[in-house]
Amino acid sequence: MELIEDKSRPPLVPVKGVPLIKYFAEAIGPLQNLTPLPDDLLISTYPKSGTTWMSEILDMIYHGGKLEKCRRAPIYQRVPFLEFRCPGVPSGLETLEETPAPRLLKTHLPLSLLPRSLLDQKVKVIYIARNAKDVVVSYYNFYNMAKLHPDPGTWDSFLQNFMDGKVSYGSWYQHVKEWWELRHNHPILYLFYEDMKENPKREIKKVLEFLGRSLPEETVDLIVHHTSFKKMKENPMSNYTTIPNDVMDHGVSPFLRKGIAGDWKNTFTVAQNEHFDAHYAKTMAGCDLKFRWEL
């Protein structure tokens, strides 16, 4: 683990045209040597789309719903975040080396930066997509509290940067579309955050089927209960409060902030919404992906 004194808000660094957090950009090269194991499972999302929620669900599935086992470590140690690097905290690759099989892996990378081996070896993927308006509001709050990001500026300028793909991980539009298309030639379960909110049990059953696993009904109910927003928010092993305060400041905004569909209405102005909708219609034209903006 390296020690770097100044880790405050460095500017994003483009990698193959995709802006990334500076330290994550430095991880992309070494990550390309990743050797997947046959039973690895990749959780892929654009940021703020329900990654942590799905990670907790999967860890519970992998441990047969045994709570004590899922409390063994914080979520970012149980589910290594591949491109993660941060001074003073073990990197994603370092964490991965310590992780026994069967492994759960997390990434937000677009396909152009994903280690090729994950695609070539057909590593199973669970992709979660969330409507762009809730993503950008969640992302703005996250940028404010997670100090590895540059200063987000005003909400209005952040919204425009998001629409222009000038935030960390680049374009939401391209991300959700390219992973959607990948389902034609890769084993992917493509899920939606809004569906998980509407009926988590139904979505967990889809996950079980995709994994070829089964669990007793009462265990599935237990997983639904313990991965609820309320339970995860109060669980230090899933709420990121174990990360040093100078990296994530929960006083600015908690990591588990609101956990609902449609919260964007509390932040978007009418004018911003109209501007966003017009751009959205153009950018998503011809794509058969349909999102729900509220429940």
Residues 224-243 that bind ligand PPS (CB under 6 A): 227-229, 232
Contact present, 91 and 30 (Cβ < 8 Å): no
Whole-angstrom distance, CA of residue 108 vs CA of residue 47: 6
* By CB under 6 A, residue 87 contacts ligand PPS: no
Binds ligand PPS by CB under 6 A, chosen from 24, 53, 162, 192: 53
Whole-angstrom distance, CA of residue 50 vs CA of residue 271: 28
Q: Is 108 a catalytic residue?
A: yes
Binds ligand PPS by CB under 6 A, chosen from 257, 275, 279, 292: 257
Contact present, 109 and 30 (Cβ < 8 Å): no
* By CB under 6 A, residue 263 contacts ligand PPS: yes
Q: What DSSP letter does each residue of 91-155 carry, written as one string?
A: -HHHHHHTPPSSPEEEE---GGGS-HHHHHTT-EEEEEE--HHHHHHHHHHHHHHBTTSPP---H
Give the nearer residue to ligand PPS in terms of CB position, either 74 or 121. Answer: 74
* By CB under 6 A, residue 45 contacts ligand PPS: yes
Smallest distance from the beta carbon of 70 to ligand PPS, in angstroms? 13
* By CB under 6 A, residue 47 contacts ligand PPS: yes
Whole-angstrom distance, CA of residue 131 vs CA of residue 273: 13
Beta bridge partners of 42: 105, 125
* By CB under 6 A, residue 107 contacts ligand PPS: no
Binding residues for ligand PPS, rule: CB under 6 A, are 45, 47-53, 134, 138, 141-142, 227-229, 232, 256-259, 263
* Residues involved in catalysis: 108
